[in-house]
Structure 1
Amino acid sequence: MNTSSTDSLFSTPLCHQIISKKLDNEDFSVIDFRQTPFGQVKGFLGDHSSLKITIKRNSDLEQHNFFVKSIPTVKSQRDFVLDVNVFFKEKFFFTQFQDLLRQYSITVLDNAIPTCYHTDGNIFVFEDLAQSSYTSISCRTSLDIESVKVALKAIAKLHASAIILEEKKSFRLIDSFSEELAETFYSDKEMVKKAEASYHHGFNALLDLTHDSEMKISKDLLRAKLLEGYRLQHAFVKPSTIFRNTILHGDLWTNNMMFKFEDGKPVNCVIVDFQSHRYGPPGQDVVAFLHLTTNREFRKTHFEDVLQFYYHELDSLLGRFGLGGIISEDEFFASCDFFKQFALTQACTHLQMVSLSEEVAAELLADPAKAQFVLYENKYDFVVAASQKDEIYRGMNFETFAELREFYENEL
């Protein structure tokens, strides 16, 4: 008898299809399935649950576990997801893009992204990485050097896969898939405009909380710079006419990565959530990743070294296909300099939400009216309250905001 602890999105035939793809055979029967929502907030652009399917094969019972992502039930988030079409984008990544990689025998993404067993554009069924000893790292802590390096290896595989595909196929992804690679976060969609307006209020809160008259830049000038800088994000995310482009993840914060540890050391990273991918230079993703997942002290100590590490990984992967040097070291480092303002600005917006404690994030999403107001109307009071009550939230947001302020001060 089929059971579920929610209004299940699944049926016996669909579960049979999922298991058939996983096992690559049809010789089994589905006995039971159960979908259970997660108790923790895994992100703001999808609902997450587990799916357990029990089958009978060769007279034995087997249980298979999966991770499920579906369109959010919280109205404000659902409206955003449907308006910007992020599930359509992720479906492209796990169907058409991966099909092309397989067609051209490009396997560099192996072990860097999860296996997707089913998607119809509204739900995704992935392998349960926890069953393979993968775990997440708190987004409220800075990644250490070992974790950064294994993450950069995975990021390099993503970037290399599209470059190799383009060279083998003699085409540009953006020319064939302009709609699928369309921008998510910095577009002219109505819900994006609302989210941007709310983030601007969050900027104003951080400005009021941190600025004093002794700073090199006046409060009014910094406010104007912040607004101008956010508008420039729309230009930064367009495909470059100077640097080599590839497929980017576009949202590389800690919750979008799963790590496997052996003897306390990270040995592999799997990147998840491809609903915000875009087409641009690798340096954009790398610098954004470092500003979203590490603290300032880490970047002061390791920034140049980890950029060098990433470049070596990317160039080595491309070299296996005779493409070493297709992106020069000078080009890569120049692109990292170019995207520093983009990365700082993105971090100052993203951290307003992604550095929340698990409890506060869950409380926010449990109140649809409050979620609507904070996410798409005005974050000012919310950011002020979180900064006053939460030392970790305050530290992460104030530190990143100070770094962006100093960036503008250095331009004076």
Structure 2
Amino acid sequence: MATSQVLSEQEWLCAVQKRLRTNDCKILKVTVSQLGGDVGGFLGDHLRVRLSVMTHLSSSPETQEVAFFVKRIPLDHQSQGELVQSSQGFPKETGLFSTLFSLYPESENPWAPQCYFVRPDALVLDDLIYEKFRLAGRKKCLDYAHCVLLLRALAVFHAGSIIIEENQAKKTNKPCRLNELYPDLLFENFFVDDNSFKTNMWFHSAVESLASSVILLEKYKRNINVNEVNIQTFKKFIYQLYEIVKPSNKYRNVVSHGDLWTNNMLFKYDEDDETPVQVRMVDFQLVRYAPPAIDVMTFLHINTPQEFRIANIEKFLSLYHNCLGEELRRHGYRVEDYLPWPEFRESCDVYNIAGCIYAPCYHTFNIMDESVLRERLTPEKFSEFFFGNRYELVEYCCETDPDYKERLLTELEELVECMLTRQSKTFEDTSKSN
């Protein structure tokens, strides 16, 4: 792949100088390769870059290798590129790394890769794979150790936005809310009722696919469209997500990731290659300003099986809140002043509905077998797969992949049960201010 397709020689040099913290260097060679492996993200083109660099030019020159990961707007896949462009996620992510994220306090627990160069169509980041990080597995449910690491990192990330707001409030002597300071970065671009955002078309597709799939649930087959499970009511229930993800007037809001599935987190492992010891979150194209409980509950629903989540929920929520408090305390703030435990615990119950909706929406497609996905993510089939009703494919995967069937239908049944439990109440009834 020609390096001219990625960055200019001067741009590579800027990235290298920032990475090595010296101007006394020059680039000898640049090698670019496409990220391989399992199906990756859907909102970018991912490249790995190796640079041979000569340093200490003015004293004792030596050569070393520098590794970067480059994320850019897809160039060779029109449908995917249109999805990225319409979602406005790429300018959001590049803007976050070039402005807001640079304001976050340094932490003992980094939550994202370092960024070394930003261009409107490209990000140059640490190559986490080079640093021995890896994905846990696109179809894999996370165990307790993985969840603990991610929740700790998430708490540090969330705490950072509170710290920035409170530091700014001290300077100006008036309340500070980051969504007001950065409205072009912290707007909702995932669940927004506007078809100019192709992410909304994806959401419609997921809703139609789930509504069609209710018939696959043995428990509700006989009640379809009658009394207990009305499909139109079911769709209306899911579409509450448009309201759910908005900033709250009751709970403290934070800068939130918004897209916490397994392909957006990389783990580093101990010498046994099994015990995770570090984690980095990636892909910040769907960041929003919302209560932290949305990130927490959607992460747990998307990445853990129901029985495991229910058995460990109190431990996970307590751990997250303790880590949030520790990070705030390191910077002179008390969690009790911003998100006390009773309020946070209540918000997790309120926003559990987000997790119930998120998980099956995601899993109508992103836990399908790799061969099924690769066949349908081609430029010719991408739009039909991403924006059409996937019911027939869901039915096929349920027939041919027992793990897919077990996971998706368990989540779908939990969503139906959530709807039936809350039928007399809207989300606004449970989330409004006292």
| TM exceeding 0.5 | yes
Give the CA deviation at 1:54: 1.0
Task: Report the CA distance shift for 1:209/1:163 in structure 2 as closer, same or farther (over 3 A).
Answer: same
Match of 1:64 in 2: 66
SS at match of 2:32: strand
- Whole-Å Cα distance in 2 between the matches of residues 219 and 341 of structure 1? 23
Match of 1:260 in 2: 268
Q: Is the 8 A contact 1:249 1:277 kept in 2?
A: yes
Match of 1:153 in 2: 152
Q: 2:306 aligns with which of 292, 296, 305?
A: 296
- Whole-Å Cα distance in 2 between the matches of residues 98 and 75 of structure 1? 30
Give the CA deviation at 1:212: 4.6
Residue segments in structure 1 that go unaligned for 5+ positions in a row: none
Q: Is the 8 A contact 1:6 1:37 kept in 2?
A: no
Q: Is the 8 A contact 1:71 1:81 kept in 2?
A: yes
Q: Is the 8 A contact 2:267 2:280 kept in 1?
A: yes
Q: 1:17 aligns with which of 2, 10, 14?
A: 14
Residue segments in structure 2 that go unaligned for 5+ positions in a row: 170-175, 424-434
Task: Report the CA distance shift for 1:213/1:279 in structure 2 as closer, same or farther (over 3 A).
Answer: closer
Task: Report the CA distance shift for 1:14/1:324 in structure 2 as closer, same or farther (over 3 A).
Answer: same
- Whole-Å Cα distance in 1 between the matches of residues 226 and 269 of structure 2? 45
- Whole-Å Cα distance in 2 between the matches of residues 302 and 318 of structure 1? 25
- Whole-Å Cα distance in 1 between the matches of residues 386 and 364 of structure 2? 10
Q: Is the 8 A contact 2:256 2:295 kept in 1?
A: yes
Please tell me whether residue 130 in structure 1 is matched to residue 129 in structure 2.
yes
Aligned residues: 404
SS at match of 1:197: helix
- Code of the residue aligned with 1:294 in structure 2: it is T
Alignment RMSD = 2.0
- Code of the residue aligned with 2:206 in structure 1: it is Y
Give the CA deviation at 1:206: 1.8
Task: Report the CA distance shift for 1:70/1:213 in structure 2 as closer, same or farther (over 3 A).
Answer: closer
Match of 1:164 in 2: 163
Please tell me whether residue 341 in structure 1 is matched to residue 353 in structure 2.
yes
Match of 1:329 in 2: 341
Q: Is the 8 A contact 1:48 1:69 kept in 2?
A: yes
SS at match of 1:130: coil
Q: 1:178 aligns with which of 157, 176, 183?
A: 183
Match of 2:395 in 1: 384
Q: Is the 8 A contact 1:345 1:404 kept in 2?
A: yes
Q: Is the 8 A contact 2:211 2:231 kept in 1?
A: yes
Give the CA deviation at 1:193: 3.5
SS at match of 2:260: coil
Give the CA deviation at 1:269: 1.2
Alignment of 1:241-280 (within 5 A): 241-262=249-270, 263=272, 264-280=274-290
Match of 1:89 in 2: 92
Give the CA deviation at 1:328: 0.7
Match of 1:45 in 2: 43
SS at match of 2:335: coil
Give the CA deviation at 1:107: 1.4
Give the CA deviation at 1:387: 2.2
- Whole-Å Cα distance in 2 between the matches of residues 297 and 246 of structure 1? 29
SS at match of 1:186: coil
Give the CA deviation at 1:61: 2.2
Q: Is the 8 A contact 2:87 2:189 kept in 1?
A: yes
Q: Is the 8 A contact 2:360 2:408 kept in 1?
A: yes
Match of 2:120 in 1: 121
- Code of the residue aligned with 1:21 in structure 2: it is K
Please tell me whether residue 410 in structure 1 is matched to residue 421 in structure 2.
yes
- Whole-Å Cα distance in 2 between the matches of residues 261 and 68 of structure 1? 23
- Whole-Å Cα distance in 1 between the matches of residues 83 and 49 of structure 2? 25
Relative to structure 2, which stretch is displaced further, 230-239 or 354-363?
Answer: 354-363
Relative to structure 2, which stretch is displaced further, 156-165 or 174-183?
Answer: 174-183
Task: Report the CA distance shift for 1:319/1:219 in structure 2 as closer, same or farther (over 3 A).
Answer: farther
Task: Report the CA distance shift for 1:198/1:324 in structure 2 as closer, same or farther (over 3 A).
Answer: closer
Q: Is the 8 A contact 1:42 1:255 kept in 2?
A: yes
Match of 1:198 in 2: 205
SS at match of 2:162: helix
Cα deviations by residue, 1:349-387 (Å, 9 ceiling, x for unpaired): 11112212233322222x222111011232222222222
Cα deviations by residue, 1:312-332 (Å, 9 ceiling, x for unpaired): 111121122222312110110
Cα deviations by residue, 1:188-216 (Å, 9 ceiling, x for unpaired): 24223422221122113321222555778
Give the CA deviation at 1:110: 5.0
Q: Is the 8 A contact 1:109 1:158 kept in 2?
A: no
Relative to structure 2, which stretch is displaced further, 391-400 or 217-226?
Answer: 217-226
- Whole-Å Cα distance in 1 between the matches of residues 149 and 414 of structure 2? 26
- Whole-Å Cα distance in 2 between the matches of residues 74 and 184 of structure 1? 21
- Code of the residue aligned with 1:82 in structure 2: it is Q
SS at match of 2:130: helix
SS at match of 2:90: helix
Q: Is the 8 A contact 2:211 2:234 kept in 1?
A: no
- Code of the residue aligned with 1:358 in structure 2: it is E
- Code of the residue aligned with 2:180 in structure 1: it is D
Match of 2:428 in 1: none
Relative to structure 2, which stretch is displaced further, 314-323 or 151-160?
Answer: 314-323
Task: Report the CA distance shift for 1:10/1:219 in structure 2 as closer, same or farther (over 3 A).
Answer: farther
Give the CA deviation at 1:151: 0.6
Give the CA deviation at 1:258: 1.0
- Whole-Å Cα distance in 2 between the matches of residues 222 and 317 of structure 1? 46
- Code of the residue aligned with 1:364 in structure 2: it is R
Q: Is the 8 A contact 1:205 1:384 kept in 2?
A: no
Give the CA deviation at 1:7: 6.9
Match of 2:214 in 1: 207
Q: Is the 8 A contact 1:222 1:408 kept in 2?
A: no
Cα deviations by residue, 1:226-269 (Å, 9 ceiling, x for unpaired): 31122211101110000000100000111111111114321221
Please tell me whether residue 55 in structure 1 is matched to residue 65 in structure 2.
no
Q: 2:248 aligns with which of 223, 232, 240?
A: 240
Match of 2:432 in 1: none
Q: Is the 8 A contact 1:53 1:65 kept in 2?
A: yes
- Code of the residue aligned with 1:44 in structure 2: it is F
- Whole-Å Cα distance in 2 between the matches of residues 66 and 259 of structure 1? 17
Match of 1:306 in 2: 316
SS at match of 1:333: helix
- Whole-Å Cα distance in 1 between the matches of residues 53 and 199 of structure 2? 43
